[in-house]
Structure 1
């Protein structure tokens, strides 16, 4: 009888344990979990905090008793793995209730300890809550009762989700982020709708500022690097997570360059009898195969299934990751896959940038919402390097289609030929993903040259004229300073009014600008279309101004703004 011990009973660990049972009815399978719950929906924790998920029990997908009944698993909650004896293949496990230690023998050991929240060594940090498990949630809910104001430290996915759900509880929220924006996977011009939605909901964003110390008290006081002192009945640290590797490191298992547990394609550690999955392990990046840390549930669950196959002798290999992710913030969805422009610039990797602002479905059908999409493409191979989407509807499926295309090694031009489901209430005859493909072809084929929002000032300083081809009413309502207005429908008859020299054309979202650029090019003019039009330029410059005012440009943002 094969003896298998799994450390960690959430996501990857439980996926491994249950699939192991489905593959091997005779094996002895023991799951050790430090918290009091297994197989809980940790991605739902912030939404229970805000009452969106009404019942706490809805997060508890399985119990030790239900797992024993269905899968004959020996699940031990409130038990902590303390040490691994690799020579004798034993794990020392402590019962946290009694304090007693027991030794579990194993033929195969699966580590799925997850990641632990980052708690910087700041004075007073001990009063800050984190959100990793159900016990953290219970403590946070208890502290939130009666609190009038809260400070959330960190603007990542968890930080913005916690901020939103504290607002749902009627608590005033200040979110402090050390860089110039929330949600680092998004580029500056793409994150601005998220900032706007959070501010409109009452969240006070303090960007480009860090926490220096927390003064504990009946009402804590959070002292910031810019001199502000922010009162808070509740403080939440959502700065990020690090792989939980203490057990692996103490056992002498190899760690990777990013600090996660090092595993091969079969998820074996440096000890062939020990495997590791989930947030604790390093992954391979889908674009350059570099080591990355991607703490996502989809990846953890998939790795759990793979490792079960490998343990029982079936073939199984992990795949590189693209980091596909999405978050909802006050009705706005923000999603990304692959690399962003900041990372491409920092790596010195050539790239082509495409912005569009399509409707979520046919504009003539009620309820269509405009979204912003950004595609990043290798200009030599047409490989899709990354994508971002922000909007109130339809963002998720467009990012998922692009992620699927990246996995299937389709090029950006191939997006134009995808046959996607269409009915007026769901999409358009030319889906936004198809349109990204057509825009890519237009640029790649030389039909149009484009200019990015952050390149406009330099082009104008070099002598180009900015031409707004929107209607006179649009130009008056939302002007780009210094632009000459000639509507596209009047352009042929007014060519003589245009000054000599290079032109940069723009419209609201880029389509009329493309039409104008094609017309002007065929009349012998040197012209570039402002990619994404006024909306992309407005979002980018708003983010640029906010970042500069905050004095909080991270290295990637700073290089982007200098370009």
Structure 2
């Protein structure tokens, strides 16, 4: 029997799910609802358009309603907002913002991919500031337009995580003076202190004014003057908030779907919510940690795309369970590449998990070959059996391939001592006879009790 599947959210999770479902089921009626005017755009590319690396905004558009209709027989309705889910009746109430009317649509299965919303801290005077967040395609266009129209020359970025650091680099590339505030003791607070200090040194050397252990206490002068918690005062043209995101769970809560302890929509290993006919994927959901099996919420693109595939498989009765997330992430910070997965020292300590650590300092390839640069790899692991708990890598080159190897090793169940045996492709321009990955394994071998 032909199914009718409705998808709420048309960016990464929703668009990917719809595409995968069409591959698996060529008869299903699929309708995607997106409350904004743009669907399926490259969210991770927004900073690089603002920095001038990506030259044309249309390069970030992965698909359009027209292409989905013509190529995949999937209907996409943009500027359509879901007001309510009536689960007993298996229908949704839709607000069409184009025609300014409200209507109902029934479903057999419903997919929630509402994403997340930037966190906006409470700051005295914020309402009068030129303040922006960067989450949507429209956000990107608005910031670009404002910089051009007002000839902005300086910016204060609040938040030293992935988005804050990427925007610091791209605003500098655009010629702006950049001030970056981080309330923690170091930037990239999800990493260990020593690694965060390496990143901070890089951005300071690149001309970014960095304030750690600092927040904004008050904003004056129509948003141009900021009084900081460290008693300093800075003056900038505008403010970018990059302090994190919170899951969009309003519809789920309104529909009495279960919310997990991390604040995301609770799903099982097939992406079903507490209602078996309602699935959820992406930044709004709570999933599980691959290493500890504890509840976890990770707003990353790879995770969202995998969850969308899992949901499509289950709806078409080809079940494949989601096995958990490592949180493998990577970020370009000026001349450095910064990457991590799993747990930091603080995370492991807070969970009461005993661990040992190996930090290996080396070069990404043979030291005598031109272009050799420093590479730092830090691995947390179990002293008992060598289980790898977390990895952090910083360098100028070769970071991504080492992190990908380590992510694969963890997924394959390899221990830290097994890293000795990974046979890498070696030639002087690429590695060393004993790669830094191998060296972690050799260094850990005397520490691990049950090899």
Residue 298 of structure 1 aligns to a residue in which SS? helix
The equivalent residue for 1:254 is 258
* 1:508-527 Cα shifts (integer Å, max 9, x gaps): xxxxxxxxxxxxxxxxxxxx
Is residue 143–residue 234 contact of structure 1 (8 Å, CA) maintained in 2?
no
Q: What secondary structure does 2:327 align onto? A: coil
Secondary structure of the residue aligned to 1:357 is strand
Q: 2:399 aligns with which of 376, 384, 395?
A: 395
Q: Which residue of 1 aligns with 2:22?
A: 21
Task: Report if aligned partners of 2:385, 2:448 keep a CA contact under 8 Å in 1.
Answer: no
Moved over 6 A (4+): none
Cα offsets for 1:163-185 (capped at 9, x unmatched): 11111111101101100111122
Instruction: Give the aligned partner of residue 139 of structure 1.
Output: 142
Deviation of 1:390 after TM superposition, in Å, equals: 0.4
Q: Render the CA deviation track for 1:317-347: whole Å, top value 9, x for unaligned.
A: 1121111111010010111111111212222
Aligned-residue offset at 1:216: 5.5
Secondary structure class of the residue paired with 1:247: helix
Distance in 1 (alpha carbons) for counterparts of 2:449 and 2:96: 66
- 1:361-380 deviation digits (Å, cap 9, x = unpaired): 11121111111110111001
Aligned to 2:111: 110
Question: How many Å apart are 1:228 and its aligned residue?
Answer: 2.2
Q: Which range moves more in the overlay, 173-182 or 357-366?
A: 357-366
Gaps of 5+ in 2: none
Distance 1:125 1:98 in 2: 34
For residues 101-157 of structure 1, the C-alpha deviation after alignment (integer angstroms, 9 at most, x for no partner) is 121110000000111100123233344200111100011112222111110001110
Give the aligned partner of residue 449 of structure 1. none
Q: Which of the two has greater helix per residue?
A: 1
Q: Measure, in 1, the Cα distance between the counterparts of 2:126 and 2:200.
A: 26
Match of 1:322 in 2: 326
Q: Which residue of 2 aligns with 1:99?
A: 100
**Per-residue displacement from partner, 1:358-412 (whole Å, max 9, x unpaired)?**
1111112111111111011100111111111001011111111111111111010
Larger Rg over CA atoms: 1
Q: Distance in 2 between matches of 1:438 and 1:407?
A: 20
1:181 pairs with 2:186: yes
Alignment-derived partner of residue 542 in structure 1? none
CA distance in 2, matches of 1:125, 1:357: 44
Q: Find 1:167's aligned residue among 172, 175, 181.
A: 172
Shift of 1:15: 1.0
Match of 2:297 in 1: 293
Residue of structure 2 in register with 1:60 after alignment: 61
Aligned to 2:376: 372
Report the secondary structure of 1:439's partner residue. helix
1:71 alignment counterpart: 72
In 2, distance between residues paired with 1:56 and 1:147? Answer: 20
Q: Distance in 1 between matches of 2:220 and 2:80?
A: 34
The alpha carbon displacement at 1:215 in A equals: 2.6
- 2:131 counterpart of 1:128: yes
Task: Tell me the residue number matched to 1:87.
Answer: 88
335, 339, 345: which one aligns with 1:335: 339
Q: What does the per-residue CA deviation read over 1:207-228, in whole Å, with 9 as the maximum and x for residues that have no partner?
A: 00112233362x6222221222
Residues 353-432 of structure 1: matches in 2 within 5 Å?
353-432=357-436
Residue number in structure 2 paired with 1:279? 283
When residues 109 and 216 of structure 1 are mapped into structure 2, their CA distance, relative to the original with a 3 A threshold, is farther
Q: Does 1:242 align with 2:243?
A: no
Superposed, which structure 2 residues align to 1:188-207 within 5 Å?
188-207=193-212
- Residue 314 of structure 2 is matched in structure 1 by 310
Q: Which residue of 2 aligns with 1:537?
A: none
1:16-72 Cα distance to aligned partner (Å, 9 max, x none): 101111111111100001111111000000110110111111101111101111101
- Alpha-carbon contact 1:119-1:125 (below 8 Å) kept: no
Q: CA RMSD in A?
A: 1.4
Q: 1:357 to 1:100 in 2, by over 3 A?
A: same
Q: Does the CA-based 8 Å contact 1:128-1:234 persist in structure 2?
A: yes
Report how far residue 445 of structure 1 moved: 7.3
Distance (whole Å) between structure 2 residues aligned to residue 88 and residue 348 of structure 1: 46
TM-score w.r.t. structure 1 length? 0.77
Q: Does 1:49 align with 2:41?
A: no
2:356 aligned with 1:352, yes or no? yes
2:163 alignment counterpart: 158
